Amino acid sequence: MPDDGLPFSPACLRNQDPILALLRRWLAPNARVLEVGSGSGQHAIHMARHLMGVRWQPSDRQESLAGLAGRIALEGQDGLAPGAQVAPPLVLEVSQPHWPTGPFEAVFTANTLHIMPAAAVPHLLAGSARVLASGGLLLVYGPFRYGDRHTAPSNGAFDAHLRSLDPAMGVRDAEALLAEAAGLGLHLLADEPMPANNRLLVLRKGNEGRGG
């Protein structure tokens, strides 16, 4: 853990390279990416150091912005891939109507849906649909249930823990999420398995994806 007094996520450190491998596959060259819930800023910096030309816009809730801005200021301008940029982070409350001005080629969010209140998840989907360019991608990383079943006992235990802290939190059902997204014009392209029983859902705006 860095001794710089700024937020640091061991989970980000563990999952950044598997996520990067899939972003290399899915992101268009020179993509403009909005990250929702950037947290410590580690993903923003790591992706910009490895993806040529990416223009990464971090964002988070107001209470998290100071630490995020500190990390971006400290590490977000040096050692970047050719043409890559990390913009100063913006305040984003997903339930509010004012999102960053698009269009973006991609919206990326990692390990946020199970932390935000269940009522906020539809707002995340709707906001993403608004700011994405036609053909743009929504990329959602984290644990999911399928048909109300967890993919591993550890995910079930994690879900129970979250709900004990706040009944509005919890591991989301992927099928329900995808059905709601489809109603907003966001259609599944891929459901990628990831380490530690996580998934990366890849949805595209405006064109039917896998399975409609």
**pLDDT tens for each residue of 12-43:** 889 999 999 999 999 998 999 999 999 999 99
- Please give the pLDDT value at position 13: 86
Distance separating alpha carbons of residues 55 and 28, to the nearest angstrom? 11
What CATH number is given for 10-205 in this structure? Answer: 3.40.50.150
| pLDDT of residue 4 exceeding 80 | no
- For residue range 53-83, what is the model confidence (pLDDT) as tens digits? 999 999 999 999 999 999 999 999 999 999 9
Choose among 39, 57, 46: nearest CA to 23: 46
Mean pLDDT of 170-197: 97
* 141 has pLDDT over 60: yes
Q: pLDDT digits over 153-175, tens only? A: 999 999 999 999 999 999 999 99
- Is 199 in contact with 142 (CB distance < 8 Å)? yes
Domain limits, the chain:
10-205
Is 192 a residue whose pLDDT tops 50?
yes
Instruction: Write down the residue that tokens 């707002």 correspond to.
Output: 123
The answer to whether 126 touches 96, Cβ cutoff 8 Å, is no
Bond into 89 cis (ω within 30): no
pLDDT at 2: 61
Residues for the chain: how many in total? 212
Three-state SS annotation for the chain = CCCCCCCCCHHHHHHHHHHHHHHHHHCCCCCEEEECCCCCCHHHHHHHHHCCCCEEECEECHHHHHHHHHHHHHHCCCCCCCCCEECCCEECCCCCCCCCCCCEEEEEEECCCCCCCHHHHHHHHHHHHHHEEEEEEEEEEECEEECCEECCHHHHHHHHHHHHHCCCCCCEEHHHHHHHHHCCCEEEEEEEEEHHHEEEEEEEECCCCCCC
**Separation between Cα atoms, residue 161 and residue 170, nearest integer Å:** 8
> What per-residue confidence (pLDDT) applies to 35?
98
Check residue 102 and give its pLDDT: 86
Neighbours of 154 (CB within 10 A): 12
pLDDT exceeds 90 at position 212: no
pLDDT of residue 158: 96
> By percentage, how much of the chain surpasses pLDDT 90?
86
Half-sphere exposure of 13 (CA within 13 A, CB side): 6
